[in-house]
Amino acid sequence: MTERTLPIAGVSVPRFLYGTAWKEDQTRRLTELALRQGFRGIDTANQRRHYHEAGVGEAIAAVIAGGLVTRDELFLQTKFTFRGGQDHRLPYDPHAPVRVQVEQSFTRSLEHLCTERIDSYVLHGPTQRVGLSAADWEAWRAMESLYDSGKTRLLGVSNVTVEQLQALCLQARVKPHFVQNRCFAVMGWDYHVRQFCAANGLVYQGFSLLTANREVLASAEVSRIAASYGRTIPQIVFRFALDVGMVPLTGTSSSEHMREDLQVFDFQLSREEVALIERLAVQ
């Protein structure tokens, strides 16, 4: 394995993912562009409110048909989203039991993505802010069954607190391989969740690293570090994420930024610089 990939339960996972949220009718074009720029990990969700999963599938089909990549060279991650996170365009019967909703959503994801398997299937967040509900557990048990069947190779959970994550890992038959959270610098870049992941063999995926941390990006300290390496500020933030063990996501629509984002594997921050960025905005 190179620094660009992680081996997780026998699956080669890219260390940098392209996120497809909020792309709407540009989803196919931008996903295909990201793949042509070198991304091999794609994150989406069967949640039409914020994602156009079928557009992602169209892009994947196009690059495979064109000979750019094979399916085995791609890492596809999608999500099950509860009714509260959806709009009227539901990928399942809202009156069906949750376990059936998971199965229906998963089947639609396979159709949308033109594939016979998902590499990582993620619970797109619990139904409540505190604790785990019966519906959360029903969804997770259904996801465990999908994992058992081999239809998904890995499982994950998103938008969780450390307390929810602890409860899930304590009682899950198949523990999550991934945790995907919005990552705020003012919260130590989600320090407590990251520490739990590191201590329990889970991989942390961080999103909104740029958009959630504009003040940090504007700081003199980060600017100084960027200048010393001859890099852009986003490159420093993404390199920091890699150095602390994250798998970062980017959702840029710029081909130039896509190329720059992937040019973070040929340098490394010092321990002092990592520590400085990690505590920069903590309140």
Q: Are residues 152 and 49 in the same domain?
A: yes
Q: Are residues 169 and 36 in the same domain?
A: yes
Q: Are residues 87 and 28 in the same domain?
A: yes
Domain count for the chain, please give it: 2
Q: Are residues 248 and 152 in the same domain?
A: no
Residue 159 lies in a domain: yes
Residue 34 lies in a domain: yes
Residue 100 lies in a domain: yes
Q: Are residues 231 and 127 in the same domain?
A: no
Q: Are residues 134 and 66 in the same domain?
A: yes
pLDDT (tens digit per residue) in 110-154: 999 999 999 999 999 999 999 999 999 999 999 999 999 999 999
Side-chain-side CA neighbours of 283 within 13 Å: the count stands at 5
Residue 196 lies in a domain: no
Q: Which domain holds residue 175?
A: 12-182
Q: Residue 77 belongs to a domain with what CATH number?
A: 3.20.20.100
- Give the separation between CA 66 and CA 61, rounded to whole angstroms: 8
Residue 267 lies in a domain: yes
The pTM of the full predicted model, rounded to 2 decimals, is 0.97
Q: Are residues 252 and 128 in the same domain?
A: no
pLDDT (tens digit per residue) in 167-225: 999 999 999 999 999 999 999 999 999 999 999 999 999 999 999 999 989 999 999 99
Residue 51 lies in a domain: yes
Residue 93 lies in a domain: yes
* 28 within 8 A of 59, measured Cβ to Cβ: yes
Q: Are residues 37 and 116 in the same domain?
A: yes
Q: Are residues 121 and 221 in the same domain?
A: no
Q: Which pLDDT belongs to residue 282?
A: 75
Give buried/exposed letters for 43-65 (b at 16+ CB in 10 A, else e).
bbbbbbebbbbbbbbbbbbbbbe
Q: Are residues 265 and 160 in the same domain?
A: no
Report the candidate in 239, 232, 269, 246 with the shortest Cα–Cα distance to residue 189. Answer: 246
pLDDT band per the 50, 70, 90 thresholds, residue 2: low
Q: Are residues 17 and 151 in the same domain?
A: yes
Q: Are residues 219 and 157 in the same domain?
A: no
